[in-house]
Amino acid sequence: MKESSYSDTSNYLGRVRHRKHPSEVSPDADKANRSNLLVNDRNKYKSMLIRAYSSVWMIGGFSFIIYMGHLYIWALIVVVQIFMARELFSLLRRSNEERQLPGFRLLNWHFFFTAMLFTYGRFLTRQLVNTVTSDKLLCQLVSGLIKYQMFICYFLYIAGFVWFILTLKKKMYRYQFSQFAWTHMILLMVFIQSAFTVANIFEGIFWFLLPASLIIINDIAAYFFGFFFGRTPLIKLSPKKTWEGFIGASVTTLLSAFVLANIMGHFQWLTCPRKDLSTGWLHCDPGPLFKPEYFSLPALMHQWFPWKEVAILPVQCHALAFGLFASIIAPFGGFFASGFKRAFKLKDFGDSIPGHGGITDRMDCQMVMAVFAYIYHQSFVMPPSFSVETFLDQIIRNLTIEEQQLLYEQLGNFFQARQWLQA
């Protein structure tokens, strides 16, 4: 009995002696953990290199299209719209039900191109008319299309609406109506911001390029500041976003806005508005916003700086407003997209761009920024709306060729009578 008790005690003590403390890790396990950390670290840097490589190619291609001019930038916007729509259309699509609805995907694209015709027809009327004024027959055709453009677009939309009703199938009503509503939400998201973007382009590439560049700079700065210094999470919707990245990107964006506005403001190719759809070089009076104003530096600063005065473009003050919005408000477009992807259990909207995801992933903040840039330009930069171009646009849009000729003759008689009275 005693021997049995002694052996049990010794076995227990042996187990206690060989039991490992929770904080102790065997050499093999420690080595495995270190190798895992190294692999993860390599993957982290590999992801950064892929992202950087894609960014270089995108920025290079973007710069080339900017050099080509307004019409090519517009074409780029259209291509971006198509890719965004394709990615968003596929989110709620279920392949097994699509097979039972032949032509349903085609209906989505019918609504898409109808919205494109309506949007750009409204925004680019003046440029289109100025392009074809040299050809009388073509001018009459374009004037007729402009006059009835809204009716044509409405008829195309009603045709799509009737098409949708005729394709309704029993036991699939819920899916079809959800797709119908989803299509209209996509059209709002894609075309509202892109229409404002195109309007900014033809007011001067500057008003498109500066806001877009600030979003790109903010995104890159936030990534690198967060990559190297990020410790404090910023928002639960996007766990990789950090306060360090947000603050570092904000400072970088504000400084970049002030400097870039000065650089871009010296190029007429960027500051002159385009009043037609041609691709030739532009020459214009840049206006007071792009003419330097000189400010004398305080005497105390002369010992640190070799200049006694500095030249600042008035547009640089507006650029600071753009920088502030791009660094503080526009990122919420990205947070919205992150929440949206979480709702659908997605990592990215697509895989069009290595290291970045889909086109929509790159355009989430740009959509918010484009609308702000247009509204800001119209509110604080645009001259009063009563201009020769505005009246000419209304005349071309609403009067027939015969009525325009009659107006021309009456204006001629009016000026002849005024000259006779002054004589």
pLDDT in tens, 229-287: 888 888 887 778 899 999 999 999 999 999 999 999 999 999 999 888 887 888 888 78
Residue 325 and residue 320: Cα distance in Å, rounded? 9
Q: Which residues 6+ apart lie within 8 Å of 139 measured at CB?
A: 129, 132, 133, 401
87 with 159: CB under 8 angstroms?
Answer: no
What does the block give as tokens for 238?
């996007």
Per the rule left: phi > 0, alpha: psi between -120 and 50, beta: everything else, 256 is alpha
Query: How do strand 293-296 and strand 309-312 relate by DSSP bridges?
Result: antiparallel
Are the CB atoms for 404 and 395 separated by under 8 Å?
Answer: yes
pLDDT at position 39: 39
Q: List, in sequence order, every residue forming a beta bridge with 309; answer none if it has no partner.
A: 296
Question: How is residue 272 written in tokens?
Answer: 């002159």
Average pLDDT over the chain reads: 81
Q: Where are the domains of the chain?
A: 69-203, 204-381, 385-412
Percentage, residues of the chain above pLDDT 90: 34
Residue 384: the pLDDT is: 64
Q: Which amino acid, residue 304?
A: W
Give residue 132's pLDDT.
60
Phi-psi map region of 204: left, alpha, beta (phi>0 left; psi -120 to 50 alpha): left
Longest CA–CA span in the chain (Å) reads: 142
- What are the pLDDT digits (tens) for 79-138? 999 999 988 888 877 555 666 677 888 999 999 999 999 988 877 776 766 666 556 666
User: Is the pLDDT reported for residue 206 higher than 90?
Assistant: yes
Q: What is the pLDDT of residue 252?
A: 97
* Residues paired with residue 357 on neighbouring β-strands, in sequence order: 353
Contact 198, 124 (CB under 8 A): yes
Residue 193, both tokens: 């911001």
